[in-house]
């Protein structure tokens, strides 16, 4: 198991993205990056060379085979990932990319005036879906889905829409799962099979995910 991914190049996204409203405010989410960084460490420990594109997070990579590219916005993450995708064997989209961004970001702090403030939002690029259109047969792609209702059907729809080989589903309805926890409870959905796991530490969850990817690649 130690060198099971030796020679493989793995691209991982992690953490949130922050979409600027003005120089001091942003739209973001509660992602810590823990899951993506745990996956990067796990792949590196098994011999892979890992490119980790990370949004704003306090996490630090420990393994020398993990190279981190720091980004802030979804557009920056997409540009970084595009540069690395073609040379990578495995893609893991673990980042919680903001779905929308302000149409216009003010270059100065917006002053408080009136009882309401209206922001016009526009869609960010769906990074996994965009790259899914360019994925080669020899590349393996993994997405993540954080859901609150119709979990399995929503995740399976994303699996097909984004041309993923598997999608890791976690639900905010499960205690100890989702953002800000050191634990997670996942179900991995593939086109022909579904594998459920118990609540575990994120480092153990990363092992489960990497194990299953290895089984699919080396079966």
- Work out the angle at residue 91's Cα, subtended by the Cα atoms of residues 90 and 93, and round it to the nearest 5 degrees: 155
Find residue 9's DSSP bridge partners.
Answer: 49
Out of 29, 154, 163, 211, the active site residue is: 29
Report d(CA 124, CA 20) in Å as an integer: 12
Judging by DSSP bridges, how do beta strands 49-54 and 66-70 pair with one another?
parallel
Residues 38, 120 contacting (CB under 8 angstroms):
no
Report d(CA 78, CA 129) in Å as an integer: 11
The H-or-E segment that residue 129 falls in is helix 127-132
Establish whether 173 is a catalytic residue. Answer: no
Residues 167, 179 contacting (CB under 8 angstroms):
no
Report d(CA 1, CA 211) in Å as an integer: 9
Residues 51, 11 contacting (CB under 8 angstroms):
yes
Residues serving a catalytic function are 29
């Amino acid at each position: 198991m130690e060198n099971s991914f030796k020679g493989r190049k793995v691209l991982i996204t992690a953490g949130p993205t922050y979409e600027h409203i003005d120089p001091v405010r942003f739209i973001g989410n509660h992602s810590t990056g823990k899951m993506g960084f745990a996956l990067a460490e796990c792949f590196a420990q098994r011999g892979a060379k890992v490119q980790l594109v990370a949004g704003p997070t306090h996490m630090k990579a420990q393994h020398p085979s993990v190279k981190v590219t720091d980004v802030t916005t979804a557009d920056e993450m997409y540009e970084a990932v595009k540069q690395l995708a073609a040379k990578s064997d495995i893609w893991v989209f673990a980042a919680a990319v903001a779905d929308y961004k302000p149409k216009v970001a003010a270059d100065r702090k917006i002053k408080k005036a009136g009882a309401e403030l209206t922001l016009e939002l526009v869609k960010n690029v769906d990074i996994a879906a965009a790259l899914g259109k360019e994925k080669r047969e020899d590349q393996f792609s993994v997405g993540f889905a954080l859901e609150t209702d119709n979990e399995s059907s929503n995740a399976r729809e994303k699996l097909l829409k984004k041309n993923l080989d598997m999608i890791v589903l976690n639900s905010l309805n499960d205690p100890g799962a989702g953002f800000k926890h050191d634990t997670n409870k996942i179900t991995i959905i593939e086109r022909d099979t579904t594998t459920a796991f118990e609540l575990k530490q994120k480092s153990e969850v990363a092992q489960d995910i990497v194990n299953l990817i290895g089984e699919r690649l080396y079966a």
